[in-house]
Each structure stands twice: as structure tokens, then as C-alpha cells.
Structure 1
Amino acid sequence: MAYLILLLNIVFLVAGQLVWKMGLHQQGGMHLNNMLTVMFSPLVLLGISFYGIATILWLFVLSRLPLSLAYPMQSLAYVIGIIAAWSIFGEVVPLNRWIGTGIILIGVVIIGMK
């Protein structure tokens, strides 16, 4: 159950980043003259909410798993984030980032071994 909560934490972290990116794109980026508009835009507020949920889930994770296991496993958010940037936003992801993503996955597998 703790691993499922950890996975949900990761999903909400990535979802928060995705809707922030969408909100920033919708507002034309963040500049000094539109900071309040950006900060109170629906997508940015939704991202903040997702981060709040992720934080609550993280507290459950920390009460059930060792930090030395849970925290490195949370790096899966980077992997999902790169895949989302590539598939949702059409970002070009160079080979070195894909290699780094593979290294993160290998690290998570090693850390997760009993």
C-alpha cells in the first residue's frame, strides 16, 4: 500500500508541473507585468492544489517507508516528466537526457531491491 501511495505522490507531482507548464503557456509566460494574473490563473492554482495533495501523500509515505528508500524512488517523477514533455508538449529530448533517464530507472530498480 505504501508503494501505491508513493506512486500517487509522484503522479500528483508530475501533474502539478504539467498544468503549471500549460498555465504558463496559456498566459504567454511569466513576466513582471502579469505575475498576479499568472499566479491566480486556474491552471496554476490547480498545480498548486496538486502539489498540496502530493505533500499530504508524501507524509503518508514517510510514515510507512524509510526515507532512504522513498526519497530516491521519488526520482521517478523526473522520468515521467521527461516522457510527458516529449509526448504532451512535443519537446525534443536529446539523447543525453534519455540516457540520464535510463540511469535514473536503473538506480530506482537497484534501490528498490531487497
Structure 2
Amino acid sequence: MIWVAIAISVCLGAAGQIFMKIAMRDAGPFPGLIGVVDIARYFWGAILSWPMLAAIVSYGISYVVWLGVLSRADLTLARPMVSLGYIMVILYGFYAGERMGWERVLGIVLIMIGLFLVVRSGARV
């Protein structure tokens, strides 16, 4: 059951990051420090968009589920599982057409190897 909670929290955290990226992409480039009113208008528009609201909800639920995880699992086992979120976000980047060099691919492979070692270490939840 704890693995399901970890997966839910990690997936919702990654989804929150992806929704935030969509919201900021839709908002356009940051206008720079041209005036307080312009900056406020820019961020207010981004914050009230549906992707940003979805990000806030995703992060909120992820946070609550993560508190439950921390109450039951060893931190040294649970926290490394958050790295799965990095993999999900990078896969989204690939889907969204972001540049994916060999360094990023190598990074994903190293994260996966590290997670394999943590889970295989025999730590019990």
C-alpha cells in the first residue's frame, strides 16, 4: 500500500510541474522588469489559468499523500523515489519536443540505476 501512496505522490508532483510549465508557456516570455503593473498582470494571468490551478491542486494532493508516506516509510527509501518524478518530467519534455541531448538520456539512466539499487537494498517499508 505504501508503494501506491509513493507512486501517487510522485506522479501528482510531476503532473504539477508539467501543468506549471504549460501555464508559463501559455503566458509567454516574462516581460522583464518594465513595471510593477505589467509584472503583476503577467503573473496574475498565469496564476488564474487552468493549468496553474491544476498544478496547485496536484501539488496540494501530492503533499498530503506524501505526509502519509513519511509517517510509515523510511525516509532513506521514500525520498529517492521522488526521482521518478524527474524521469516523468523529462519524458514529458521529450513528448513536448524539447531538446534531448545524450547528457539528459545518461542522467535518466543513472537515476534509474540509483533507484534500482535503493529498492534492491532490502529496506523494508
* TM bucket normalised to smaller: over 0.9
Q: Which residue of 2 aligns with 1:48?
A: 56
Residue 104 in 1 paired to residue 98 in 2? no
Deviation at 1:45, TM superposition (A): 1.3
Residue 28 in 1 paired to residue 28 in 2? yes
CA contact (8 A) 2:30 2:42 kept: yes
Aligned mate of 1:73, from 76, 81, 94: 81
1:80 and 1:43 mapped to 2: Cα distance? 17
Deviation at 1:55, TM superposition (A): 0.1
1:10 and 1:29 mapped to 2: Cα distance? 28
Q: Which residue of 2 aligns with 1:39?
A: 47
One-letter amino acid of the structure 1 residue matched with residue 44 of structure 2:
L
2:30 and 2:66 mapped to 1: Cα distance? 29
Aligned-partner SS, 1:63: helix
What is the percent sequence identity of the aligned residues?
Answer: 30
After superposition, the C-alpha distances for 1:68-114 in whole angstroms (9 at most, x for unaligned) are 11001111111111011101x11121101110110010000100111
CA contact (8 A) 2:5 2:65 kept: yes
CA contact (8 A) 1:30 1:38 kept: no
Q: Unaligned regions of 5+ residues in structure 1, if any?
A: none
1:99 and 1:27 mapped to 2: Cα distance? 32
RMSD of equivalent CA atoms: 1.2
Q: Which residue of 1 aligns with 2:98?
A: 91
Q: Which moved more, 1:43-52 or 1:19-28?
A: 19-28
The normalised TM-score by structure 2 is: 0.85
Q: Which residue of 1 aligns with 2:17?
A: 17
* Residues paired across the two proteins, number: 113
Aligned-partner SS, 2:97: coil
After superposition, the C-alpha distances for 1:30-62 in whole angstroms (9 at most, x for unaligned) are 442411111222211110110000001101111
1:5 and 1:30 mapped to 2: Cα distance? 36
